């Protein structure tokens, strides 16, 4: 609980300590924000410093920076000792002393629950908490309160004023902070107000889904999951670069993998949403805006505490909010997350054809799943052990196979030049970041195409040219795939990725009848994904 309240930013403070200009900028910024909220007090009742003089805001700003720097040092040191321990409350009290556990017990009681001495509590970074407790015991109360007040005021100021947000952005460009976007936009401000997985967010989700993403949308979008699971099973079973041990591990991963597309159906249930609000604690009737904001944050935290003792099934957890506009693979829950917010028009409409759905939702889901498979395989992360990690032999062979995604011979001439942004340079680039994107695109597009092709092959239309229907569906699929990248924030690299993955896919040339020598007819030479992943074992025998 205390670590949640007292966050530190090691990167920022490390730079500040050695850069006088940044220190001055940051001090001025803190002062400008605090001036928004600090009410002028009569001299006789104003808080005073050790010399008996009224405390100035600049003095408070210096104290805030002092605390931030110390917390930064503790955070940096904590990275060297990442142990996790689980003990009973009474055992933790004996090891750590009272403050942390007493604070947790108080909060649990506020949430209407009870923290018993035999309850088990897990703590990550135990040494960090030991050092934090020692520091807090020695810290002057006024400095601690100043820092906590700044922690709350900073985010509230960001929500309230464009001027302050611009000032913060200007500062962050000089010294970025972990967990804070370098560019704070209005949507991020809304996220701060509604909270992440907070009580208010459930109502916002309900309103969004009932207006823009109803039951039928969830059903249609999530229907890509079954075919894609089959495609990935075939891919894992039939590729020629995985050894038996890696195949067995990856098959198990594919079996456990959950596809979360759209949103949970229960978020459309008004009774469920209303039940969430039965747990709300009343806010103060009369107070200042900062205190309202603080009360809301407390409320959200207490709702989490209230649910901590509730049993749950991990496979039922949807870790990504449907309001998010990005897809994600979650390694902890083993889920492919495709939230409703990422499926807004023109990417997805409930009346889209299945070729359109597989071109957009299907390709996004397949790319995210591909990323998850590679992450679990630890292709480039040998220092992290994993349950589904590929063998070294498989990694070596796969790294050889993916060299086919580095086409052309311009890589050396592109390094450090202004031509780095050209498509030819992207084609020939083989560094890890670009290769990772190319793999996701390569496998993702082929997997979603195979899933759609398998569905189209089930058509038993009479008296119609099946080949022409097939080509028409292929064109619709590829056109819809491109729509995913029609975004005002799309980059030049996004454009290159789309062109490269389609250019190097034979079926694209077939669909649009690309002739030899044209820019969009490239070489489909990679031996990564078997061509028969869309066929069932029976089809293969026939």
pLDDT, position 422 = 85
Contact 177, 71 (CB under 8 A): no
Average pLDDT over residues 171-198: 50
Distance between CA atoms of residues 154 and 33, nearest Å: 7
pLDDT band at 69 (very low <50, low <70, confident <90, very high): confident
Contact 521, 438 (CB under 8 A): no
Residues 6+ apart with CB under 8 A from 135: 70, 74
Per-residue pLDDT tens digits for 25-57? 777 778 777 776 665 544 444 455 555 555 677
pLDDT, position 158 = 59
Percent of the chain with pLDDT over 90: 36
CATH class of 215-262+311-409+420-512: alpha beta
Per-residue pLDDT tens digits for 252-299? 999 999 999 999 999 999 998 888 776 666 666 666 666 666 776 777
Least confident stretch, 3-7, 112-116, 314-318, 381-385: 3-7
Is the pLDDT assigned to residue 378 strictly greater than 90?
A: yes
Per-residue pLDDT tens digits for 133-153? 899 889 999 899 888 888 777
Contact 192, 159 (CB under 8 A): yes
Q: Hey, which residues does 337 pair with through a beta bridge?
A: 260, 328
Cα–Cα nearest to 308, from 480, 488, 32, 121: 121
Distance between CA atoms of residues 317 and 311, nearest Å: 12
Distance between CA atoms of residues 129 and 341, nearest Å: 37
Residues 6+ apart with CB under 8 A from 539: 532
Is the pLDDT assigned to residue 390 strictly greater than 70?
A: yes
Q: Considering the entire predicted model, what is its pTM?
A: 0.70
Instruction: Give residue limits of the domains in the chain.
Output: 20-83+125-182, 215-262+311-409+420-512
The values of phi and psi at residue 328, to 5°, are -160, 145
- Rounded (10°) angle between helices 225-238 and 432-457: 110
Is the pLDDT assigned to residue 124 strictly greater than 60?
A: yes
Higher pLDDT, 430 or 70: 70
Percent of the chain with pLDDT over 70: 76
pLDDT, position 46 = 46
Instruction: Please report which helix (H) or strand (E) contains residue 374, including its range.
Output: helix 363-377
CA-to-CA dists, residue 91 to 82, 100, 101, 126, 412, angstroms: 20, 13, 10, 13, 60
pLDDT band at 174 (very low <50, low <70, confident <90, very high): low
Least confident stretch, 109-123, 288-302, 441-455: 288-302
Higher pLDDT, 504 or 470: 504
pLDDT, position 197 = 42
Work out the angle at residue 489's Cα, subtended by the Cα atoms of residues 483 and 495, and round it to the nearest 5 degrees: 55
Distance between CA atoms of residues 96 and 90, nearest Å: 10
Strand 328-330 relative to strand 335-339, pairing: antiparallel
Per-residue pLDDT tens digits for 410-429? 655 676 555 557 888 888 88
pLDDT band at 250 (very low <50, low <70, confident <90, very high): very high
Is the pLDDT assigned to residue 346 strictly greater than 90?
A: no
Distance between CA atoms of residues 327 and 362, nearest Å: 12
Count of residues in the chain? 542
Contact 509, 520 (CB under 8 A): yes
């Amino acid at each position: 609980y205390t670590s949640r309240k007292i966050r530190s930013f090691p990167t920022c403070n490390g730079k500040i300590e050695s850069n006088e200009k940044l220190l001055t900028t940051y001090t001025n910024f803190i002062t400008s924000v605090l001036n928004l909220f600090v009410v002028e007090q009569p001299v006789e009742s104003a808080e005073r410093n050790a010399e008996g003089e009224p405390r100035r805001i600049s003095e408070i700003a210096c104290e805030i920076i002092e605390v931030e720097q110390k917390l930064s040092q503790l955070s940096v040191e904590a990275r060297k000792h990442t142990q996790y321990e689980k003990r009973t409350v009474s055992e933790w009290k004996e090891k750590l002393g009272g403050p942390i556990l007493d604070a947790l017990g108080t909060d649990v009681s506020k949430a209407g629950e009870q923290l018993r001495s035999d309850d088990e509590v897990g703590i990550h970074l135990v040494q960090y908490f030991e050092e934090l407790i020692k520091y807090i015991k020695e810290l002057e109360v006024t400095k601690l309160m100043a820092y906590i007040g700044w922690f709350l005021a900073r985010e509230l100021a960001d929500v309230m004023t464009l001027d302050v947000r611009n000032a913060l952005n200007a500062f962050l460009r000089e010294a970025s902070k972990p967990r804070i976007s370098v560019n704070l936009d209005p949507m991020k401000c809304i996220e701060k107000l509604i909270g992440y997985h907070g009580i208010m967010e459930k109502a916002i989700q309900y309103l969004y889904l009932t207006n823009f993403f109803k039951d039928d949308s969830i059903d249609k979008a999530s229907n890509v999951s079954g075919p894609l699971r089959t495609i990935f099973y075939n891919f894992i079973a039939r590729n020629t670069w995985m050894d038996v041990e890696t195949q067995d591990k990856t098959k198990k991963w594919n079996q456990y993998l959950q596809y979360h597309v759209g949103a949970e159906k229960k978020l459309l249930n008004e009774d469920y949403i209303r039940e969430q609000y039965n747990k709300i604690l009343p806010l103060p009737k009369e107070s200042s805006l900062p205190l309202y904001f603080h009360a809301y944050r407390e409320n959200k935290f207490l709702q989490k505490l209230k649910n901590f003792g509730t049993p749950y099934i991990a496979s039922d957890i949807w870790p990504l909010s449907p309001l998010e506009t990005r897809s994600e693979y979650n390694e902890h829950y083993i889920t492919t997350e495709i939230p409703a917010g990422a499926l807004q028009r023109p990417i997805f409409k409930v009346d889209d054809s299945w070729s359109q759905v597989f071109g957009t939702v299907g390709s996004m889901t397949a790319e995210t799943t591909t990323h998850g498979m590679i992450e679990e395989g630890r292709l480039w992360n040998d220092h992290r052990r994993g349950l589904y990690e590929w063998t070294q032999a498989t990694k070596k062979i796969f790294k050889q196979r993916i060299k086919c995604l580095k086409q052309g011979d311009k890589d050396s001439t592109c390094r450090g030049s202004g031509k780095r942004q050209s498509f030819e340079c992207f084609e020939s680039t083989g560094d890890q970041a670009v290769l990772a994107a190319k793999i996701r695109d390569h496998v993702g597009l082929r997997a979603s195409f195979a899933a759609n092709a398998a569905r189209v092959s089930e058509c038993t239309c009479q008296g119609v040219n099946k080949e022409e229907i097939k080509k028409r569906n292929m064109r619709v699929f590829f056109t819809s795939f491109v729509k995913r990248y029609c975004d005002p924030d799309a980059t030049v690299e996004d454009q290159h990725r789309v062109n490269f993955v389609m250019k190097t896919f034979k079926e694209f040339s077939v669909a649009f009848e690309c002739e030899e020598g044209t820019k969009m007819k490239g070489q489909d030479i990679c031996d990564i994904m078997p061509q028969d992943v869309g066929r069932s074992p029976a089809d293969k025998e026939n």
